[in-house]
Each structure stands twice: as C-alpha cells, then as structure tokens.
C-alpha cells in the first residue's frame, strides 16, 4: 500500500506540461482544411506580413524541445504536430512560393504569416507527409470520423466494393497514398488482417485519419 501511495504522489508531482506535451490531431476538424501541407518549423520562427524581408514582422517565436518563448505561445495553438522529445514542430501551410511559405501560427484564431525558407525540404505536401509518416507510424482513425471513413474498398472509388470495416483497430499499416485514398492493412480487435483502400480525407480536405506519430 505504501508503494502505491508513493507512486501516486510522484505522478501528482509531475508537471502537467510533461504529461500532455505531445500535440498530434485526435479529432476530425472542419477548420483550416484548405491547407497545402506542413512545414517543419525552425527553432527561430520569424513571421512576416508579406513574403518580403522588408515587410512588417508579425511575430517572432523561439523554441527548442518543450521550451517556447514567449511563454504565452501555446504549442497546441502554434503547431499541428509537436513532439518536443524529438524537437519536431510542424506548422500548417496555406501558401507557398519558391522562397517563402505562409503558415498558420495560431490555430485558434487562424492568424497567418510568412516564413522565409532556410531549407527547401522543410515543406511537405499532405501527400508527401502521409506517405512518409503514415508508412513509418501507421494511421490513427480520428475521433468523430464519419461511418463511411471506416469502409475498406477494393479500389480508390467510393462506388467500389466494400470488403470490410474498421471497428477497433489495433494498427493501421500504410502501403501507399493515392490522392485522397490510402492502401492499408488493418489489424482490428479480432486480429483478422484486412487489406484495401480507405478514404483518409474528404474531397474538401477534412481528414479522417492522421499518422500515429509519437
């Protein structure tokens, strides 16, 4: 009993920030769906009003790991994906030029600004992102996804035959991303493998699945 009480005391003393540091989408969102992809944020984020270094600086944010300055900036408002242990923060991209990306730097208000690219490989279209991270980590079915998102099809066509459904998936492995469809192998709660195509996002950009990043 003493050991149990000691463990509970230690858990209660752990900072809340450490318990909920990671930010990865868990719910279907109909907001900000007209994005092009994600941009891997540098540790010094300088946001301009226009894609021009002589334009007004809207915001300047410094971050590394779980430290963000200014402290008023909340990771869940800044990033789409935030994995402090890996020093990884991904911002939603709304526009792109050869040397600049326009990103959302406040997911709550939708505030946007331009970042000058320091590395052309920091930007990933959604297809590139799902192909890379979906294959690496598999997919999570987002909460509140519509019933049709759980259908497994024989082809990348909503009218194609449905060969199974996703109920309580233990793992969703990705083989390929083709447009709004993903070729997957699903291991459901019954441990019976199911293979086919699922719709990972709608035609208007609403995402039903997201890479199970951790």
User: Where along the chain do its domains lie?
Assistant: 22-118, 127-211
**Contact assessment for residue 60 and residue 41, using Cβ atoms and an 8 Å cutoff:** no
Distance (Å, rounded) from C-alpha 104 to C-alpha 151? 32
Query: What is the percent of the chain with per-residue pLDDT over 90, rounded to a whole number?
Result: 82
The residue written with tokens 């991270």 in the block is: 133
**Contact assessment for residue 91 and residue 23, using Cβ atoms and an 8 Å cutoff:** no
* Global pTM value: 0.87
The residue written with tokens 């719910």 in the block is: 27
Distance (Å, rounded) from C-alpha 115 to C-alpha 137? 28
Measured at the alpha carbon of residue 128, what is the angle toward residues 136 and 175, in degrees to the nearest 5? 45
- Count how many Cα atoms sit within 13 Å of the Cα of residue 143 in the half-sphere of its side chain: 4
pLDDT digits (tens, 9 = 90+) for 192-214: 889 999 999 999 999 999 999 98
pLDDT at 13: 39
pLDDT at 190: 76
H or E element in which residue 162 lies: strand 162-165
Query: What is the percent of the chain with per-residue pLDDT over 70, rounded to a whole number?
Result: 91
* Distance set, CA 135 to CA 105, 140, 184, 194, 200 (Å): 27, 12, 9, 17, 13
**Contact assessment for residue 198 and residue 184, using Cβ atoms and an 8 Å cutoff:** yes
Distance (Å, rounded) from C-alpha 24 to C-alpha 89? 10
**Cβ partners under 8 Å of residue 30, min gap 6:** 206
pLDDT at 21: 79
- State which residues of the chain have pLDDT below 50: 1-20
């Amino acid at each position: 009993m003493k050991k149990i009480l000691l463990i509970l005391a230690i858990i209660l003393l752990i900072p809340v920030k450490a318990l909920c540091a990671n930010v990865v989408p868990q719910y279907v969102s109909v907001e900000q769906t007209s994005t092009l992809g994600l941009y891997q944020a540098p540790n010094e984020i300088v946001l301009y009003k226009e894609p021009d270094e002589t334009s007004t600086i809207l915001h300047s944010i410094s971050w590394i790991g779980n430290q963000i300055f200014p402290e008023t900036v909340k990771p869940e408002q800044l990033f789409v994906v935030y994995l402090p242990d890996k020093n990884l923060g991904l911002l939603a991209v709304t526009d792109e030029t050869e040397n600049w990306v326009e990103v959302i730097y406040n997911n709550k208000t939708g505030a946007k600004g331009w970042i000058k690219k320091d590395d052309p490989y920091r930007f990933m279209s959604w297809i590139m992102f799902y192909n890379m991270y979906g294959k690496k980590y598999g997919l999570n079915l987002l909460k509140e996804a519509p019933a049709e998102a759980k259908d497994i099809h024989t082809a990348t066509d909503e009218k194609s035959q449905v060969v199974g459904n996703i109920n309580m998936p233990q793992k969703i492995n990705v083989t390929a991303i083709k447009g709004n469809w993903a070729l997957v192998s699903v291991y459901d709660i019954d441990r019976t493998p199911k293979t086919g195509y699922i719709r990972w996002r709608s035609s208007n950009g609403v995402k039903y699945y997201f890479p199970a990043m951790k």
